[in-house]
């Protein structure tokens, strides 16, 4: 198992499913799209719409594409 990233901060969290341990699969809050107190991930950083996250349970590191694009588009 990987160690937790030394720059991980409990104050910076993301609520996305861990593709390795799937610990949130039977959680009612997570299933309803609410921020659960138990199934958060360390938010290590962002690059545009890409989140760099780590699971505190299994220590898996991955990038999660949010598909959210910031900015405004001009009205036509």
DSSP string, 16-70: ---TTT-TTTT-HHHHTT---SSS-EEEEEEETTEEEEE-TTT--EEEEE-----
Does 38 fall in a domain?
yes
Among the ranges given (5-9, 25-29, 71-75), the one the predictor scored with the smallest mean pLDDT: 71-75
Does 48 fall in a domain?
yes
Number of structural domains the chain divides into: 1
Q: Residue 55: which domain range?
A: 13-65
Does 70 fall in a domain?
no
Does 73 fall in a domain?
no
Place of tokens 């001009």: 74
Does 8 fall in a domain?
no
Tens of pLDDT, residues 25-62: 999 999 999 999 999 999 999 999 999 999 999 999 99
Q: Which residues pair with 50 in a beta bridge?
A: 47, 65
Does 7 fall in a domain?
no
Does 44 fall in a domain?
yes
């Amino acid at each position: 198992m990987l160690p937790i990233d030394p720059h991980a901060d409990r104050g910076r969290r993301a609520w996305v499913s861990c593709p390795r341990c799937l610990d949130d699969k039977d959680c009612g809050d997570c299933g309803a799209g609410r921020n659960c107190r138990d199934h958060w991930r360390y938010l290590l950083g962002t690059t545009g719409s890409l989140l760099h996250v780590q699971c505190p349970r299994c220590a898996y590191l991955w990038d999660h594409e949010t598909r959210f694009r910031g900015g405004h588009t001009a009205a036509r």
